[in-house]
Structure 1
Amino acid sequence: MQLQRKIAILADAAKYDASCASSGAGGRDSSDGVGLGSTEGMGICHSYAPDGRCISLLKLLLTNWCIYDCLYCVNRESSNTPRARLSVDEVVATTLDFYKRNLIEGLFLSSGIIRNPDYTMEQVIEVARRLRQEHHFRGYIHLKTIPDASADLVARAGLFADRLSINIELPTVQSLHALAPEKDATGIKRSMARIRLALDDHQEAKQQASQVRAAPGRAAKVPSPAPFAPAGQSTQMIVGADASSDRDILSTSVSLYRNYALRRVYYSAFSPIPHASAHLPAQAAPLMREHRLYQADWLMRFYGFDEQELVTSQQGMLSLDMDPKLAWALAHPEQFPVDLNRAPREMLLRVPGLGVTSVDRLLAARRVRQLRRADVERLRTASRRVLAFVHLPDHRPAQDAQALAAGLRRPASAHSAPAPTPVQPSLFDDAPPVASTPGTTPLPTLLQAATW
């Protein structure tokens, strides 16, 4: 099979994995004349998906052959999808070629499981090792850790990757057992724990080396420990493939953040796959549901919300009509209006329309003077929404805040249509087409989108 055809198949097969952000890596470039690549992102060409997500990593599977038969996976063993496999040399050469042409800023590499988890993990690691050690590649590398791979291989992967990730797949053990009986939830969490321990050990070694260097009279140079996955670890959950509620999903996320110090939990709306099992839903999960989960996740991590208070419906689902913060505010009218000149930071963060930056600016301003309505209107934020929930010396909100906020709801038609199947951009102008759901609109190719 020609390399171009292989990449077309394996790039398309990787489109369902959402956990590929490049945030968190340390600054690294080749300005010293050694190697090539950078994690800075300067001068990088980007392509954008229809839902606005930025695509700047070469996102590939090493192979879409797999010995597992997970019902929700298009690459499952029983699927009749076209199959392909790239050699380690082909992935390395393609990554370097695309980087030199300024099409990508890094590599996201995953794989179906072939032979056994350890063999597959060895192949994935070898790609990263060659890029780093033989070609001095300094760009971003994200490696998917294969569940049940040995602890030694997981530790080795972190020496070459900026970020490691293991997909938790589904919110509950029961759902994973029903839809992916060959996968072990305990084994997945065991691998997450190994990565967290390695990250903690590396951080402790860095602190000890720093303390030794700072000790008085220390003449000898103390080397810093080798970097280990500086961008941490992440995971992904499929949303809508089982009967789990949004409350179940967010509770699982909180547990993962707390126990394994994850950088991110990614949510991927379920999309029907060809020749799907009868155990799977016939319709795609709404993309708006995925979006609301991301908003709730952000509120939990940076705004002090608890997952239980964000889900206000008895069914355990987030509202599709409004964002979770607005839904919480409308469900707790006794908390409003908030005195913008006296309320603590924690309460200001709960005002719809106010973000972290806006709150910090308001706090800085009110240290020296009294805030007024004009201060809110000058913020680059949704001032109309903010004014519905606060009072100021020259402003009192309307008596019926519910009616005012109702105008901020999304119309029902905005989320009633089924979500489109994600479409991965082709990597070549004349790449052979890969089967996808009828009615989807493919993205422009990366070569066509590049700015030369």
Structure 2
Amino acid sequence: MGEKYHTLEERMKILADGTKYDSCNSTTTCHTFTPDGRCIQLYKTLMTNSCSGECLYCPNRCGREATRASLSPDEIVKITWDFYRRNAIEGLFLSSGVIGDPELTTERQLDVLRTLRGSGFNGYVHVRLMPGVPRDMIREVSLLANKFGVNAETTCQSRYDEICPNFDYRNDILRRMEWTYGAVRQRRSEVRYGEGIIGANDTQFVVGATGEPDSEIIDTIGRFMDSYGLRRPFFMSFDPVPDTPLSGNKASPLWREARLYQTSYLLKDYGLKPRDLETVLDDRGFLPDDDPKLVLARLNRDAFPVDVNLSTYSELIRVPGIGPRTANRIVRCRPVLSYVQLASMGVVMKRARPFIKLGNSRQTDLEAFV
């Protein structure tokens, strides 16, 4: 179905809706976290929702009856600057349907990036790369974008073949992830922090599209972190789209997406490995609808309570309600003299209290262990 005339506002709305399976939500903005931990708002858009790909779950798949629209690179630059100057956003998230082939699509994305940066835009830029993107283009993207990566979508070749018949998982995805990691490492060797753009790589999984258990996703994340230096995985719960081959399949619950995000933080920020989380999974390999860190603590009750003045950093971050920054703060400021002092450091006492003690003082309520 070809494009009909639409106003700029109509096209913006159509392309925001078209980002259903490209991180966050289907509004014109999404959120991301900068390296210093700030949560920022980005203008999120596709360049076009016309696509030569036939991914079975996607509302933009080739051949599906849908309202098609596109924005030119100059229009995206203008819209981004307009939002940015009004302090409505702090950056841009740019994706696209595949325009003919990955090279042409990436060239148009690069047109946006070159023009933005060339006109003095210092905001955050997150780019979703196309499967099969050429290596030299990944290098140029790394000079201009703060975060970029190609979507893995699922966990292995066989599952990928089920939902993305146009692309090859090993070549178009995994090899590009390897090249992306190489571009990130090269950039880090060239520029010191604070003196230029140093990008990070990411990917995304469509959760539940192929019936994969959470154990597969967790193992894949761990492997990607080890092999490709993956900074952050994103997750999007599968939600069947009308008039697609998977329209009759069951939607994946949103809580599953949330638990996978929590699990990914344990892998990336807490130093856990997939094997450390095996006891959290049920017999089918799925996470429960509960905070995995809390579940892990309950399953290892013999390790608690820990004395906040004597415990190592590694022991402290296993406590529910204590994150990496708070654990570092505790270690730097010890001795800690009261629970009030702990709360002032950022400890979520309602969650942490059953798992910690100060000297001989500890929570006597064992409800958290039941």
Scaled by the length of structure 2, what TM-score is found? Answer: 0.86
- 2:284 is the counterpart of 1:315: yes
1:262-291: CA deviations, max 9, x gaps?
A: 221111111221223248622x22221111
Which of 340, 343, 348 is the matching residue for 2:308?
340
Residues 384 and 158 of structure 1, relative CA distance in 2, 3 Å threshold: closer
Task: Tell me, in whole angstroms, the C-alpha distance in 1 between the residues paired with 2:33 and 2:313.
Answer: 27
State the match for 1:16 in structure 2: 21
1:95-137: CA deviations, max 9, x gaps?
A: 223323332222211111122111111111111112222x232
Aligned-residue RMSD, C-alpha: 2.8
- 2:163 is the counterpart of 1:179: yes
Unmatched tracts of structure 2, length 5 or more: 25-29
User: SS state of the match for residue 65, structure 1?
Assistant: coil
- 2:356 is the counterpart of 1:390: yes
1:230-259: CA deviations, max 9, x gaps?
A: 231111111121221111111111111111
State the match for 2:8 in structure 1: 3
Task: Tell me, in whole angstroms, the C-alpha distance in 2 between the residues paired with 1:374 and 1:87.
Answer: 55
Tell me, yes or no, if the aligned pair for 1:110 and 1:143 is still in contact at 8 Å. yes
Of 62-71 and 269-278, the range deviating more from structure 2: 269-278
Of 380-389 and 6-15, the range deviating more from structure 2: 380-389
User: SS state of the match for residue 71, structure 2?
Assistant: coil
Task: Tell me, in whole angstroms, the C-alpha distance in 1 between the residues paired with 2:87 and 2:163.
Answer: 40
Residues 56 and 339 of structure 1, relative CA distance in 2, 3 Å threshold: closer
1:354-392: CA deviations, max 9, x gaps?
A: 2223323333343xx475555546554332432322344
Q: What letter matches 1:235 in structure 2? A: T
Task: Tell me, in whole angstroms, the C-alpha distance in 1 between the residues paired with 2:33 and 2:144.
Answer: 16
Which of 84, 92, 110 is the matching residue for 1:125?
110
Q: Note the C-alpha offset of 1:206.
A: 4.0
Q: Note the C-alpha offset of 1:405.
A: 4.6
State the match for 1:450 in structure 2: none
State the match for 1:100 in structure 2: 85
Unmatched tracts of structure 1, length 5 or more: 27-39, 42-53, 211-223, 407-452
Residues 358 and 131 of structure 1, relative CA distance in 2, 3 Å threshold: closer
Give the share of equivalent positions with the same residue, in percent.
34
Tell me, yes or no, if the aligned pair for 1:326 and 1:352 is still in contact at 8 Å. yes
Task: Tell me, in whole angstroms, the C-alpha distance in 1 between the residues paired with 2:87 and 2:190.
Answer: 36
1:35-71: CA deviations, max 9, x gaps?
A: xxxxx99xxxxxxxxxxxx772111111111111101
Q: What letter matches 2:80 in structure 1? A: T
Residues 379 and 125 of structure 1, relative CA distance in 2, 3 Å threshold: closer
Bigger relative contact order, structure 1 or 2 (CA pairs below 8 A, ≥6 apart): 1
User: SS state of the match for residue 241, structure 1?
Assistant: coil
Task: Tell me, in whole angstroms, the C-alpha distance in 2 between the residues paired with 1:197 and 1:163.
Answer: 14
Q: What letter matches 2:183 in structure 1? A: A
Task: Tell me, in whole angstroms, the C-alpha distance in 2 between the residues paired with 1:363 and 1:101.
Answer: 42
Residues 257 and 377 of structure 1, relative CA distance in 2, 3 Å threshold: closer
State the match for 2:258 in structure 1: 291
Q: Note the C-alpha offset of 1:344.
A: 2.0
Which of 149, 159, 164 is the matching residue for 2:143?
159
Task: Tell me, in whole angstroms, the C-alpha distance in 2 between the residues paired with 1:202 and 1:244.
Answer: 35
Residues 286 and 372 of structure 1, relative CA distance in 2, 3 Å threshold: same
Residues 383 and 92 of structure 1, relative CA distance in 2, 3 Å threshold: closer
Aligned pairs for 1:406-421 within 5 A: none
Tell me, yes or no, if the aligned pair for 1:247 and 1:316 is still in contact at 8 Å. yes
User: SS state of the match for residue 247, structure 1?
Assistant: helix
Residues 153 and 404 of structure 1, relative CA distance in 2, 3 Å threshold: closer
Of 301-310 and 13-22, the range deviating more from structure 2: 13-22
User: SS state of the match for residue 57, structure 2?
Assistant: coil
Q: What letter matches 1:238 in structure 2? A: V
Q: Note the C-alpha offset of 1:91.
A: 2.0
User: SS state of the match for residue 253, structure 1?
Assistant: helix
- 2:331 is the counterpart of 1:326: no
Task: Tell me, in whole angstroms, the C-alpha distance in 1 between the residues paired with 2:180 and 2:121.
Answer: 23
Which of 312, 318, 328 is the matching residue for 1:350?
318
State the match for 2:50 in structure 1: 65
Residues 244 and 350 of structure 1, relative CA distance in 2, 3 Å threshold: same
Tell me, yes or no, if the aligned pair for 1:164 and 1:232 is still in contact at 8 Å. yes
User: SS state of the match for residue 244, structure 2?
Assistant: coil
Scaled by the length of structure 1, what TM-score is found? Answer: 0.72
State the match for 1:301 in structure 2: 268
Tell me, yes or no, if the aligned pair for 1:155 and 1:198 is still in contact at 8 Å. yes
Q: What letter matches 2:277 in structure 1? A: L
User: SS state of the match for residue 364, structure 1?
Assistant: helix
Q: Note the C-alpha offset of 1:294.
A: 1.1
Tell me, yes or no, if the aligned pair for 2:56 and 2:246 is still in contact at 8 Å. no
User: SS state of the match for residue 56, structure 2?
Assistant: coil
Q: What letter matches 2:60 in structure 1? A: N
The structure with the larger Rg is 1
Q: What letter matches 2:198 in structure 1? A: P
- 2:249 is the counterpart of 1:281: yes
State the match for 2:123 in structure 1: 139
Residues 362 and 197 of structure 1, relative CA distance in 2, 3 Å threshold: closer
Task: Tell me, in whole angstroms, the C-alpha distance in 1 between the residues paired with 2:159 and 2:350.
Answer: 43
Q: Note the C-alpha offset of 1:174.
A: 1.7
Tell me, yes or no, if the aligned pair for 2:236 and 2:257 is still in contact at 8 Å. yes
Q: What letter matches 2:116 in structure 1? A: L
Tell me, yes or no, if the aligned pair for 2:293 and 2:318 is still in contact at 8 Å. yes
Task: Tell me, in whole angstroms, the C-alpha distance in 2 between the residues paired with 1:121 and 1:293.
Answer: 30
